[in-house]
Amino acid sequence: MYAVIATGGKQYRVTKDGVLRVEKLDAEPGATVEFGEVLLVGEGAEIKIGKPMLKGGKVLATVVRHGKGAKVSIVKFKRRAHYLRQKNHRQFFTEVKVTDISAG
């Protein structure tokens, strides 16, 4: 069984016992979080699609850990204009393990 959920402005395809990284959530490691914005639930040839969200659909997950992603360099440069700006960025993430998927 799999589902497509929306969180942090992105959509993710999740499966039971799967681990994924999402935008940082305000939850402690070990806590259970519920994703209520379920777009699609499928199992084999049977697929339920929401318009746009599936009513009663939810995905439960356990927070595994928090962390920071890889460093990304940002460079803005204009030739012959003495213009150079360099910055770095590391995005925060929360790693969750999906424990249950229900179609509602």
pLDDT band with cut points at 50, 70 and 90 for residue 33: very high
What residue ranges do the domains of the chain occupy?
Answer: 2-102
Q: Does residue 104 carry a pLDDT above 80?
A: no
Whole-Å CA distances, 16 to 21, 28, 67, 77, 82: 15, 21, 22, 46, 53
81-102: per-residue pLDDT in tens?
Answer: 999 999 999 999 999 999 999 9
pLDDT of residue 55: 92
44-77: per-residue pLDDT in tens?
Answer: 899 999 999 999 999 999 999 999 999 999 999 9
pLDDT of residue 93: 98
For residues 61-84, one letter each, b for 16 or more C-beta atoms within 10 angstroms of the residue's C-beta and e for the rest, the string is: bbbeeeeeeeeeeeeeeeeeeeee
